[in-house]
Structures are given as structure tokens and as C-alpha cells.
Structure 1
Amino acid sequence: MPDPGRAESGGALPPGAVAVILLLSALWGLNMVAVKLASAGMPPVLQAGLRSVLAALLVPLLCRPLGMRFGAWRQPGVLWAGIAAGVIFALEFILLFIGIGLTTASRGVVFLYGAPFWVALGTHWLVPGDRLTRAKALGLGIAFGGLLLAFADGLRAPAGPDALRGDLLCLAGGALWAATTVLVKASPLRHAAPAFVLQVQLVVSAPLLLLASPLLGEAWRIDPQPLAIGAFLYQAAIVAGASYLAWFWLVSRHSASRLAAFSVLTPVFGVLAGALLLGERLGTGFLLAVVLVAIGLWLVNRPAR
């Protein structure tokens, strides 16, 4: 895979890397719609488990034409760090799906996408050269303010009696998502090939998610509606396969905190996808929210002075 510009671990992202992370954020935003559509055909945790199974089968096929290798994964500590990342990966989805069921979607998204703050704090303490500067902290705050504005209408909607528990579970899910990213940068996984980093997470998470599904009371049913199956295949092949492979490739080369900040765009793209594909209404302050997110990301990605 060609390198779209290379930065030092904690340096500003080059234009090529920004272009790739923008594309990934758009793909992940569309995935928010795909999860809704696929849920009509299969329960969410079962969906996540089957997604990991199919993606694990597809990743080696994707790597071959790209010239990517699984690398020397027998290096000390790499396999165990990969297994730990896979367990965290599975727990993240379990907590998130339980949390979304207890709170509103808007609140769940806002708490989940607190993840860039956790990444910034984790890399500040554990990854040399990826420090939390004042500009980065200010940029994260402004971008997150834009996210709050984008979901303002949903946040004002009444929430159920279990909303606080759901909020905390979504917050924990975001923290685990961040923990996976920090672990890749701060553990022996930083020496591993991106293909291995993804594959081990898929292989470890698949049985854990499939086991969790019946334990959470999900019925193992699959309704073969074409739209639901198509949405599921999008999640497995495009998101969990190709896009996650590109994500870990970026993380191996660039600042994790700067990359994670761009994930705030994912729910913004998700709102746009919902409006275009599902006819959902855009909030009154959506355009201003996009402007705030853009300003925040510009501040995050400014070169350190």
C-alpha cells in the first residue's frame, strides 16, 4: 500500500493521511445507517460477532493484492498484546450495544465519541512524542462542542429511567475504543504489521461476541432481507475489513491522538447519511456544528510550536 505522506509519531498529519481519515470517517458514518438497516435482519451483538467472523476471512484476501504481510508476530509480547486488544475490542461492542438499548441514540453517540479525549490523555502519558498540547486540547473541545450542537435536538428529547446507566456504558465503550488505539501505540503491537493487529482482534472478538449474544438474551435468528444482508456485508467487508485495515495502518505511522480526533466527524457523516438515505431531519444548528468541528480539527492538527 502506498504511503500518503509520512509524519513523525506525534507530528501533524500530512495531507494524504488527512484525506484517508476523512474517507474512513465517511465510511464509518454510513456504517451507523448500515447497523440500523442490518438490525432488521439480525440482533446487534450477533451481528457484530458474525461481522468479525466474515472480516477475519476477508482480511487475508485484502492483504495479498495490497502487498501487506502479517509480519513477525512471534516477537516477544506481540501475540499477548494482540489478544488483549481483541478482548477489549469485543467488550467495547458489548457495552455499547447494551448502553444504546438503555439510553437515547443521540446521548449514546455523544458519550461514545468522547473517545478522542481518552486517546489524547492515554498517548500523552504512554506514547513519547504524542503530547496533549494546549492547541490540541482546545481543538478537541471545540470539535466536541460541534458534535453536541449536531445532536442538540436529540439530546433535548426525554430519556428513560435507565438512561444514566446507558450513558455510562456508552462512555465506557468509548474509553475501551480509545484503549485499543493507545494499546497499539504503547505496547509491543507498535512493532507489529497492521494486518496482524486487525486480524488478531477479529479472531479473538468473534467467539466472545457470539458467546455474549445468547447470554444477553438475543435470539439467534437471521431474516434474509436483501437490504439487511447488504447492510451487514457492507459492515463486514468495507468497515471491519478494508477500513479497519487502513485505520491500523494509519495508526502505525502517525499520531494516534490527532487521528482519533478526526473520528468526531463519524457521527456528523452519520447524520448526513441518515438524512440522505433514511429521510431523517437535520438539526437546526447542523451547519454551524460542521464549522465548529472543522475549526477544532484544524487546531488539533496544527504543527506543534
Structure 2
Amino acid sequence: MSPRDVVLTLFVMVIWGVNFAVAKYGLREFSPMLLMCLRFAMVAVMLVPFVRIPWGQMKGILVLSVLLGGLHFPLMFTGLTKVDAAAASIAIQLQVPFSSLLAALLYKDKLGWRRGLGMAISFAGVMVIAGEPRAMGGGFYLGLVVIAALIFSVVNIQIRRIGSISGFALNGWMAALAAPQLLIVSLLTETGQIEMIRSSTWVGWSSIAYMAILVTIVSYAIWYRLVRRYQVNQTMPWTLLVPVFGVLSGILMLGEPLTPAMMVGGTLTLMGVAVIMIRKVPKQNQNQSAT
């Protein structure tokens, strides 16, 4: 990566890490599906009027809207209702071993024993977190976060398949397609939407604005470009920094405790992810990433 892209990637990781704590504030006032619906509606309103319709890529964007807006975020934020921001930011790192598995299946990328070991260690770390007495009641919700991690690894592959497109156009039309999906799901599975909107405070709306502007518009526009420009094994490893900022924001902003099980499980997960990341990209892949 170029120095400029390294700085941009670090900036994205900070935004994503803090987002776990910010989302918890939003979930105090809105249900998960309604929160995501409002988030993507805000994104669509801010971007769609200023970008062209990418007709040739709308099918791929529709698939992305289902994966990212219809599956990943709803699962992620439903999980966040019962899982600490710190635990969720660690569990979501399973997207790295999931990405390696998908690369092996789709691109015939050899895993090797080192990455296999890293996967086993990272999954063991999440199991330690899930087995913590304080988190036992939220095991199902932690599982939702794990599934969200799997879906996010598919999202990165789908972004590469869409091809060259403006990050703002991609974000805007993906949000425009995702918002109605989330509204339907919210109406079918949740109640009291009008009352939640009427009783919401500036804190809840600031949470939505953070997720819409900084996370979806700014950080994902940067991330989409990086994912298209570099190989998965060059971009995904940077997400290792997300739980660092996620844990810190959970402690500082929400007062979440850093328990021994969290420390052991988090360390194992990040160690496993690190083992997967420490891998030289083959020269052939490096040449392909520059095209």
C-alpha cells in the first residue's frame, strides 16, 4: 500500500472501531431494524440526488444491498443489543479467517497450516468470550455477530465483482435499495416505530448521523476503493485495528468492564487473526492488484 492509502486505511479503522460504542447509544432509542433503516435513508437522501444511476452495475449493487444492508448490518446491530461493544468488535474479526476460507474456495488460494492454525486460534478466542458467565445469556446474539462477520467477507468479494464505480454512487444507490428492505423487515418484526422516533433525542440522531456520514459515506467510500485496488489479503488484515479502538471506546464511552475472559479471548482472537495476516502476497497476486 502507498503511504497515503495506509493513512486512509487507519482513519477508516478508527471510525469503525468507535462506531460500536456510538451504535450502542443509538440502540438505546431505536430498534435495530429501524435504526438501520433511518441510517440508510439518510445516506440515500444525501447522495442519490448528486450521483448518476449506474445502470450497468445496478444488479451487483442490488446484491450488495441485500448482503450489506439487508443481512450484515441487521445481524450486527441485533447482536449489539445484547453484546458489549468490546466483545462485538473482537468477534467481528472472524471476517478475516472467513475471508481466507472464501479466497481458498473461490480463488484456489492455498490456506497452509499456518493460516489454518490462525483460524483455529481466532475461533477459540471468540469461544472464550462466548463462555464468559456475564456473556452466557447473550451467546445467541454473539452468534449473530459471527454470522455478520461471515457475510462481510462475502461483501468484500462482491465489491470487487461490481468493478469500477464511484464510492458515492455505490453508497448512495446501495442505501436507496437497502432502506426499503429494512423498513419492511422492521414493520414485520418490530413495533412502536412512530413512538421511538417521537421520543428520540439528539443523542440518538447524532448516532445515526455518525453512522450515515462518517461510517457509510466517508469510510465506506474509502474502503470500497481500497478493496478494489488491493487484494483481500492486503486490505482485510487492517481490520485487526478495529477491536483496539472498539474496546477502548467501549471502556471510555460506555464504561464497559475489561474482564479476564475478554482479555484472554480477545488476545487469542487477535493472535489468530495476526497469524493469518502475516503472509506474503504472491508476486502474481501483487501484479494483479495493480491492474
Check whether TM > 0.5.
yes
Aligned to 2:115: 137
Please give the alpha-carbon distance, in whole angstroms, between the structure 2 residues aligned to 1:179 and 1:226: 34
Q: Which one of 164, 170, 190 corresponds to residue 217 of structure 1?
A: 190
* 1:194–1:252 CA contact under 8 A, matched in 2: no
Superimposed CA distance per residue, residues 193-221 of structure 1 (whole angstroms, 9 cap, x where no aligned partner): 33333223211111111211121224211
Please give the alpha-carbon distance, in whole angstroms, between the structure 2 residues aligned to 1:124 and 1:160: 33
SS of the equivalent of 1:191 reads coil
Equivalences for 1:17-96 in 2 at 5 Å?
Answer: 17-59=5-47, 73-75=54-56, 78-89=57-68, 90-96=70-76
Q: Which one of 248, 252, 256 corresponds to residue 224 of structure 2?
A: 248
Please give the alpha-carbon distance, in whole angstroms, between the structure 2 residues aligned to 1:21 and 1:202: 22
Please give the alpha-carbon distance, in whole angstroms, between the structure 2 residues aligned to 1:54 and 1:47: 11
Q: Closer, same or farther in 2 for the Cα pair 1:132/1:31, shift >3 Å? A: farther
Q: Identify unmatched segments of 5+ residues in structure 2.
A: 284-291
* 2:17–2:249 CA contact under 8 A, matched in 1: yes
Aligned to 1:184: 159
Superimposed CA distance per residue, residues 21-58 of structure 1 (whole angstroms, 9 cap, x where no aligned partner): 22211111111011111122222211111101111233
Aligned to 1:16: 4
Supply the RMSD in Å over aligned alpha carbons. 3.6
- Between 151-160 and 119-128, the greater mean CA deviation after superposition: 151-160
Identical residues among aligned pairs (%): 19
Superimposed CA distance per residue, residues 152-205 of structure 1 (whole angstroms, 9 cap, x where no aligned partner): 667412455673x444433322222111111122x3x12333333322321111
Q: Closer, same or farther in 2 for the Cα pair 1:118/1:219, shift >3 Å? A: same
What is the deviation of 1:253?
0.7
Q: Does 1:272 align with 2:272?
A: no
Please give the alpha-carbon distance, in whole angstroms, between the structure 2 residues aligned to 1:136 and 1:56: 43
Please give the alpha-carbon distance, in whole angstroms, between the structure 1 residues aligned to 2:110 and 2:5: 20
Q: Identify unmatched segments of 5+ residues in structure 1.
A: 1-12
- Between 215-224 and 204-213, the greater mean CA deviation after superposition: 215-224
* 2:240–2:270 CA contact under 8 A, matched in 1: no
Q: Does 1:198 align with 2:179?
A: no
Please give the alpha-carbon distance, in whole angstroms, between the structure 2 residues aligned to 1:227 and 1:215: 26
Name the structure with the higher helix share.
2
Please give the alpha-carbon distance, in whole angstroms, between the structure 1 residues aligned to 2:189 and 2:270: 40
Aligned to 2:258: 282
* 1:29–1:270 CA contact under 8 A, matched in 2: yes
* 2:21–2:249 CA contact under 8 A, matched in 1: yes
What is the deviation of 1:140?
5.3
**2:59 partner amino acid:** W
Equivalences for 1:90-105 in 2 at 5 Å?
Answer: 90-100=70-80
When the two structures are superposed, what TM-score results if normalisation uses the length of structure 2? 0.77
Aligned to 1:262: 238
